[in-house]
């Protein structure tokens, strides 16, 4: 895939997840419901990452879409050029 994702934000989103609940994480950056997929990826080469929360609690999900540990933030936003 040569297409690059849109940088949806330069800080991770802090979201509360519920154990056992499924979430669809946006990888394209086009969703207006960041960090979650809203179907805006249609027609692109991107697809959401569907995952099940392993525990209740707050997590930081990547919005710059450069993380190597999707859907979680791995600090890559600190490496973005301005």
Kindly tell me which residue out of 12, 23, 30, 66 binds ligand FES, with binding defined by CB under 6 A. 30
User: Are 51 and 27 within 8 A, CB to CB?
Assistant: no
Which 50-69 residues touch ligand FES, going by CB under 6 A?
Answer: none
Residue 26 and residue 42: Cα distance in Å, rounded? 12
Place of tokens 């994480």: 25
Q: Of the two residues 1 and 55, which places its CB atom closer to ligand FES in the complex? A: 1
Kindly tell me which residue out of 23, 41, 59, 66 binds ligand FES, with binding defined by CB under 6 A. 41
**Cα torsion 72, 26, 32, 2: sign:** positive
Binding residues vs ligand FES (CB under 6 A): 26-28, 30-31, 37-41, 46, 48
């Amino acid at each position: 895939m040569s297409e690059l994702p849109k940088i949806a934000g330069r800080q991770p989103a802090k979201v509360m997840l519920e154990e056992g609940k499924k979430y669809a994480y946006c990888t394209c950056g086009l969703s207006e419901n960041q960090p979650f997929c809203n179907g805006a990826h249609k027609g692109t080469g991107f697809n959401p990452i569907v995952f099940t929360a392993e525990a209740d609690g707050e997590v930081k999900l990547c919005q710059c879409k450069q993380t190597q540990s999707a859907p979680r933030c791995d600090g890559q936003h600190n490496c973005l050029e301005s």
